[in-house]
Amino acid sequence: MDIDQLKERAGPREFSPKDDLPEKYRKAATRMIQFHANSEIMGAYLERPFIREAPSLDRKLAFSAKVQDEIGHGQLLYRAAESLGIKTRDEMLDELANGEGKFLNCFHYPLESWVETPMIAFFVDGAAMRRQATLKQSSWEPYAHAMDKVCFEEGFHVKHGEAILYELMTGSKAEQEKTQEAFETWWPRIIQFFGPTDDKSTHHDFSADVGLKTMTNDELRNAFLNAYVPKAKKYGLEIPDEPRIRENGDGTYEVVEDDLNWDEFFTIAKNDYEGSHEQIGKRRRTQEAVEWVRNSMDDWEAKSAGASPQAAD
Ligand X SMILES: CC(C)(COP(=O)(O)OP(=O)(O)OC[C@H]1O[C@@H](n2cnc3c(N)ncnc32)[C@H](O)[C@@H]1OP(=O)(O)O)[C@@H](O)C(=O)NCCC(=O)NCCSC(=O)Cc1ccccc1
- Binding residues for ligand X (CB under 6 A): 31-32, 35-36, 39-40, 43-44, 70, 102, 104-105, 120, 124-125, 128, 131, 192-193, 195-196, 201-204, 207, 213, 217, 268-269
Q: In angstroms, what is the minimal distance from the CB of 94 to ligand X?
A: 18
- Written as one string, the DSSP assignment of the chain is --HHHHHHH--TT-B-TTS---HHHHHHHHHHHHHHHHHHHHHHHHHTHHHHHSSSHHHHHHHHHHHHHHHHHHHHHHHHHHTTSSS-HHHHHHHHHTT-S---GGGGS---SGGGHHIIIIIIHHHHHHHHHHHTT-SBHHHHHHHHHHHHHHHHHHHHHHHHHHHHHTS-HHHHHHHHHHHHHHHHHHHHTT-S-GGG-SSHHHHHHTTS--S-HHHHHHHHHHHHHHHHHHTTPPPPSSS-EEE-SSS-EEE-GGGS-HHHHHHHHTT-SHHHHHHHHHHHHHHHHTHHHHHHHHHHHHHHHHS-HHHH-
Distance CA 127, CA 131 (A): 7
| 246, β-bridge pairs | 254
Q: In angstroms, what is the minimal distance from the CB of 135 to ligand X?
A: 6
Q: In angstroms, what is the minimal distance from the CB of 107 to ligand X?
A: 7
Distance CA 153, CA 73 (A): 9
Q: In angstroms, what is the minimal distance from the CB of 302 to ligand X?
A: 34
Closest CA relative to residue 47, chosen from 164, 172, 167: 164
Establish whether the linkage from the previous residue to 196 is cis, with ω within 30° of 0. no
Q: In angstroms, what is the minimal distance from the CB of 233 to ligand X?
A: 22
Q: In angstroms, what is the minimal distance from the CB of 241 to ligand X?
A: 23
131 or 232: CB nearest ligand X: 131
Q: In angstroms, what is the minimal distance from the CB of 25 to ligand X?
A: 14
Report CA 56 to chain centroid distance, whole Å: 27
21 or 158: CB nearest ligand X: 158
Q: In angstroms, what is the minimal distance from the CB of 164 to ligand X?
A: 13
176 or 206: CB nearest ligand X: 206
